[in-house]
Structure 1
Amino acid sequence: MSLLQYALWFRDNAIDRVQRVLLGILKAGPIPHHVAFIMDGNRRYARDKGVQVIQGHTDGFVALRRILGICSALDIKVVSVYAFSIDNFKRPQDEVDGLMNLAEKSLLELCSYGGVLAEHGVRLNTLGRTQLFPPAVQEALAKAKELTKNNNRAVLNMCMPYSSRDEITTAVEETVHDALVEGRIEPITEKDIEDRLLTAKVKTAPLDILIRTSGVKRLSDYLLWQCTENTQIHFIDTYWPDIGLFDLLPIILDYQRKVWSQ
């Protein structure tokens, strides 16, 4: 082993030890049950690196694996990610095609034997209009869900193709339809609509924390209904492909401080 290789090995092992210590400290306090991410910044990351856009999305997938490992180590039971917006179909066709190819490959890599979902016992849910995807991606989604259906340690909600307005509109339509079929005369309530949201259909816990990367400060039509007065919303400057434990550390600590102060 060369001196450089030894130095890199020592650095990586030191970082790993520090992270294990930090995870242990965080786990001593209250841990959020449900954390959601808007995975933003892949394209700007690629531009800054001088690489093709699809490489930014590929590195973003690596970041997703890393974040899932951290969340599993913290015993966070539900992670939701904004993987693909319905509006993303309006992007340049070559980028959309690249994303579809990446999705097909990455889904099976996540869920297959030895993949991060299998390793951590995570069940995959998909929330959105998956029928808009090409057949190959739909098949990959179905296979991925089948591979993880018996995992019961945690849940990953992949919102794709998704928009909150579409979710809420569909829930209202279903509420009205069901009321007409049942001949109900009582007023439609907030709970009637909430029970028909996509998150309710997969029995997802209330949203504790929503994190958006890349410094942009907007929700971009993601989980608008679910962001209640109890949801902590954090906007961080880090691009999604660069996200790691040190980005999550102050967010979890802030969550714990607020829980303890209640």
Structure 2
Amino acid sequence: MLRRITNLFNRKEMADENMLLQSVDRNRIPKHIAIIMDGNGRWARRRGMPRSLGHRAGAETLRNVVKLCSELGVQYLTCYAFSTENWKRPQDEVSFLMDLLVEYLEKEIEELHNNNVRINAIGRLDELPSQAQQALARAFHKTGNNTGLTLNLALNYGGRREITDAVIEIVNRVNKGEIKCEEINDVLIGQSLYTAGMPDPELLIRPSGDCRISNFLLWQLAYTEFWLSDVMWPDFQRQHLLEAIVGFQQRERRFGGLIKK
């Protein structure tokens, strides 16, 4: 009986996904999607599990989301994996997250490479443990020439720190005489951020029920469309990503202006 109910549920889920796939306009896929991967710990706690199992389940969700983004032709997927504030968590959890990063990169790198995915990371990477830095370096080297989806991992990342680093870089260039103060504008600032060369995210997805951006891409999210959900990240399925994209495509993006009728 339980197997029959499970099969019925799976068939309904597949039907919902197929219906959403048919609703997606392939010509209006957002070029850049940003995701705050939130809710792993709460997902585990509600099930009486250690937080580490929630993080491991979240890594599997990321795998599925990356695959679908690649299939749909998304150009950039930026995922908030570890913030500058996350160092305040218990040491055993921080160590687990760093080990999980290394494990994810080593386990998934061949499939990602075979699917033309390029691995990138933003944040103060030089402050990560050496094993994590080495795993990232191997991933960058392996996938650096790929031309499909760029998987952008935000690691030891903070939006305020990113802007501070950009200001320091610009000040240094002014002091060296490379640029003049009057040449500083929003374009130059954008070129000095960790995301230089990438388009700003068109769609931000935040699961877990929270309604804040948590120091994530503060500059880049100026005109980004938000899609919020109560679903915890480990429960985030392909159909949820499709719902977010369909919802995005139904919105009018005015960028402070008016839509011409």
Structure-1-length-normalised TM-score: 0.89
Decide which of 154, 167, 171 is 1:172's aligned counterpart. Answer: 167
**Map 1:19-98 → 2, pairs under 5 A:** 19-28=17-26, 30-98=28-96
What is residue 142 of structure 2 aligned with on the other side?
147
AA aligned to 2:228 is F
Equivalent pair of 1:82/1:160 in contact (CA under 8 Å): yes
Q: Check the 8 A contact 2:23/2:246 in 1, yes or no.
A: no
- TM-fit CA distance, 1:101: 1.1
List per-residue Cα deviations over 1:168-226 (Å, max 9, x = no partner). 000010001011102644423222211100101xx211210111111111111000000
Deviation of 1:97 after TM superposition, in Å, equals 1.0
1:244, distance to aligned residue in structure 2 (A)? 1.3
Aligned to 1:105: 103
Q: 1:103 to 1:184 in 2, by over 3 A?
A: closer
Q: CA 1:100 to 1:8, structure 2 compared with 1: closer, same or farther past 3 Å?
A: same
Indicate the RMSD between aligned Cα atoms, in angstroms: 2.2
Q: The residue matched to 2:251 in structure 1 has which SS?
A: helix
Q: Which residue identity does 2:153 align to in structure 1?
A: M
Amino acid at match of 1:215: G
Give the SS at the match of 2:43. Answer: helix
In structure 2, C-alpha distance between the alignment counterparts of 1:52 and 1:250, rounded to whole Å = 30
Deviation at 1:29, TM superposition (A): 5.3
Quote the Cα distance in structure 2 between the aligned partners of 1:206 and 1:130.
21
Whole-angstrom CA distance in 1 between matches of 2:141 and 2:243: 36
What is the CA–CA distance in structure 2 between the aligned matches of 1:56 and 1:197, rounded to whole Å? 31
2:220 paired residue number: 226
Offset of residue 8 of structure 1: 5.1
Are 1:199 and 2:192 matched, yes or no?
Answer: no
Per-residue CA distance 1:15-74 (angstroms, 9 max, x = gap): 446524532431445211110000000000010111111100000000001111221222
CA contact (8 A) 1:207 1:227 kept: yes
Residues 28 and 143 (structure 1 numbering): CA distance in 2 closer, same or farther, change over 3 Å?
closer
Q: Which residue of 2 aligns with 1:215?
A: 209
Aligned equivalents of 1:150 and 1:21: distance in 2? 35
Task: Please give the alpha-carbon distance, in whole angstroms, between the structure 2 residues aligned to 1:102 and 1:156.
Answer: 17
Match of 2:232 among 232, 239, 250: 239
Partner of 1:181: 176
TM-score by length of 2: 0.89
- Residues 26 and 74, structure 1, Cα contact 8 Å, conserved in 2: no
Unpaired stretches in structure 1, ≥5 consecutive residues? none
Count how many residue pairs are aligned between Structure 1 and Structure 2.
Answer: 254
The structure-2 alpha-carbon separation of the partners of 1:162 and 1:183, relative to structure 1 and needing over 3 Å to count, comes to: closer
- Supply the distance in 2 between the matched residues of 1:210 and 1:88 (Cα, whole angstroms): 20
Which secondary structure state, in structure 1, belongs to the residue aligned with residue 45 of structure 2?
A: helix
Letter in 2 for 1:253: V
Partner of 1:137: 132
Q: Taking every aligned residue pair, what percent have the same amino acid on both sides?
A: 36
CA gap of 1:154–1:249, structure 2 versus 1, over 3 A, is closer
**Secondary structure of the equivalent of 2:153?**
strand
> How far apart are the structure 1 equivalents of 2:7 and 2:243?
27
Stretches of structure 2 lacking an aligned partner (at least 5 in a row) = none
Amino acid at match of 2:141: E
Q: Does structure 2 conserve the Cα–Cα contact (< 8 Å) formed by 1:128 and 1:162?
A: yes
The 1:184/1:11 distance shift into structure 2, 3 A limit, reads closer
Contact 2:206-2:227 within 8 A present in 1 as well = yes
Structure 1: 4+ residue segments shifted above 3 A: 3-18, 183-186, 259-262
